[in-house]
Amino acid sequence: MRRSRALHHLDDLVAAAGRLAAPGSIVSLPVRSLWVSGALADGAAELEVVQVAVALDMPADDLPLHLEPAGAQHWANAAGVATKPVTLLWRSTRAPLRTAGLERPLQVWDSATGRVDAALDALAEGAADVLREVEPPAEQLLAGLEADRDVSCARCGGPPPRTPSAGGRRAASTASPTRCGRCRAATSSCSTPSKEFAHSAKGTGRNARRAG
């Protein structure tokens, strides 16, 4: 997909988020902000998907990594991204946004103030790097990855795996996802049979799963 097409998809999503956040909307999911990461934020000319983090005003424990909250499919369908090359990663506003696969996100929409024009303009010009979130220290990254891992493991009932030693920022980025102590799958795509981990193959990306 060309960058211009990816930007068009993003602009449509931002506009849809505004409509769905308006009073009287048929969708009640508490979406508070949208953040871009991945190839589009990196300035790639060609990319496979538009990666967007959707921040929700709900407890972090209700949003295990790469699982969908209740109502996610409805929101994605209403936003018009269910059949588009857009991957949504659901995150809580009550915990650090940064996690495995979501590096230096850039906010493009806020429920209170609307479009972040400076960010969208910078993306269009391929000059968004200076506006992106600063990478946190390695210790903070590991703490956030551990929190995501523990929430995922709690969902499948398995004991948390041992966490690799820090070893600097690179180790913090490559240490995740670790493996679940019960199902031995990476916690970002736990395969333990459970209603809480019912697979969802469309709407919010191939790796998305539904939280109970």
Check residue 102 and give its pLDDT. Answer: 81
Residue 33 reports pLDDT greater than 60: yes
Residues in CB range of 144: below 8 A, 6 or more apart = 95, 96, 98, 99, 136
The span from the CA of 170 to the CA of 135, in Å, is 11
Q: What is the reported pLDDT for 146?
A: 67
Share of the chain above pLDDT 70, in %: 63
Tell me which residue has tokens 């948390």.
160
In the chain, the domains with their CATH numbers are 3-131 (3.30.460.10), 138-210 (no CATH)
Tell me the per-residue pLDDT of 124-137, one tens digit each, with 9 for 90 and over. 999 999 898 777 66
Q: Determine contact, residues 149/160, Cβ cutoff 8 Å.
A: yes
Q: Tally Cβ neighbours within 10 Å of residue 25.
A: 12
Give 204's contacts (C-beta < 8 A, 6+ positions apart): 68, 72, 73, 76, 81, 87, 88, 90
107 pLDDT more than 90: yes
What is d(CA 78, CA 130) in angstroms, rounded to the nearest whole number?
Answer: 32
3-state helix, strand, coil in the chain (%, to 5): 35, 20, 45
155 — pLDDT class (breaks 50, 70, 90)? low
Do residues 45 and 75 lie in contact, with contact meaning Cβ atoms separated by under 8 Å? no
Distances (CA, A) of 88 to 10, 15, 36, 145, 162: 11, 16, 10, 19, 28
Q: Which helix (H) or strand (E) holds 209?
A: strand 209-210
Residue 73 is predicted with a pLDDT of: 93
